[in-house]
Amino acid sequence: MTSEAFTIRTQSETLEKLDRLAAQLDRSRNYLVNKALDDYLAAQSWQIEKTLDGIAAADRGELYDHDSVFGELRGKISATEDR
């Protein structure tokens, strides 16, 4: 996989924290920023996918009644409190 360079601007405090963490982990700034970007993109992609799945399910009429959902939750809470 090829890589490309780009520039970002960040606060001095953020850069200092990045440098401290890189030193503590014996990793480069580049490694940590790429790891953070990969993790962020994966999390956002998952969240967007699940949101779109939910919208599609709602459009198909696959909805849960509010009262039944909360009734089930109350039952679980009550069972946990009884332990």
Q: pLDDT tens string for the chain (83 positions)?
A: 899 999 999 999 999 999 999 999 999 999 999 999 999 999 999 999 999 999 999 999 999 999 999 999 999 999 998 88
Please, are residues 32 and 22 in contact by the beta-carbon 8 Å criterion? yes
This model's pTM is above 0.75: no
Q: In the Cβ-directed half-sphere of 70, how many Cα atoms lie within 13 Å?
A: 3
